[in-house]
């Protein structure tokens, strides 16, 4: 039986450690001797905005540019928000959200409704696939993260889980090349 659970990044590690799930896919903030993290791809954050918005005319988009507009940011407990907050701190700014969302789809829908701009990972770009929304990367080195397989070092995976991870790794390598 396959069961898929959609949870925040820090919860994935907890679920793996408690053996409630066999493995997870997500990000890791710090190393843990009980967890094996195998990177799949690098995810770059960018801004999603309505077509015709003034940022669309900019050749290069920076965090300083975005700070002038209402921002729809992810919940403070998400890995995306952690990256965004740290990146703003690096430039001496504070990311002040006009709105906060727990799910990317909510933030993207709010941007589509014209409520502001949202900073999201490129892996979530599919949510913005519409003529009314645009996605552009933000020029800032700190807005990248590794997405990978999170599994326990204390137990082995079932043969089917192992095959799934190998297939996923192959697909990610193909897409990244």
* pLDDT recorded at residue 34: 92
Please indicate, yes or no, if residue 3 is contained in any of the structural domains: no
Q: Give residue 125's domain range.
A: 49-144
- For residues 87 and 171, membership in a common domain is answered with no
Any idea what DSSP says for residue 143?
Answer: S
What's the pTM value of the predicted model, to 2 decimals?
0.83
Q: Is the pLDDT of residue 140 over 90?
A: yes
Q: Which residue has the higher pLDDT, 90 or 142?
A: 90
- For residues 155 and 84, membership in a common domain is answered with no
- For residues 88 and 125, membership in a common domain is answered with yes
Residues contacting 61, CB < 8 A, separation 6+: 46, 47, 55, 136, 137, 138, 139
* pLDDT recorded at residue 111: 94
- For residues 74 and 99, membership in a common domain is answered with yes
- What is the tally of structural domains in the chain? 2
Q: What is the CATH number of the domain that holds 159?
A: 3.40.190.10
Please indicate, yes or no, if residue 59 is contained in any of the structural domains: yes
């Amino acid at each position: 039986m396959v069961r898929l659970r959609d949870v925040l990044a820090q919860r994935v590690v907890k679920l793996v450690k408690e053996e409630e799930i066999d493995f997870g896919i997500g990000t890791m903030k710090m190393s843990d001797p009980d967890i094996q993290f195998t990177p799949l791809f690098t995810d770059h954050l960018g801004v999603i905005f309505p077509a015709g918005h003034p940022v669309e005319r900019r050749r290069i988009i920076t965090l300083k540019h975005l700070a002038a507009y209402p921002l729809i940011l992810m919940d403070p407990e998400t890995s995306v928000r952690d990256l965004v907050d740290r990146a703003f701190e690096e430039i001496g700014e504070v990311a002040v959200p006009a709105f906060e969302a727990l799910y990317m789809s909510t933030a993207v829908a709010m941007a589509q409704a014209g409520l502001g701009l949202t900073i999201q990972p490129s892996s979530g770009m599919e949510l913005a696939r519409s003529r009314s929304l645009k996605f552009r990367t933000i020029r800032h080195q700190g807005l990248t993260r590794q997405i990978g397989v999170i599994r326990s070092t204390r137990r082995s995976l079932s043969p089917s889980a192992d095959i799934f991870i190998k297939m996923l790794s192959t697909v990610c390598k193909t897409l990244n090349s």
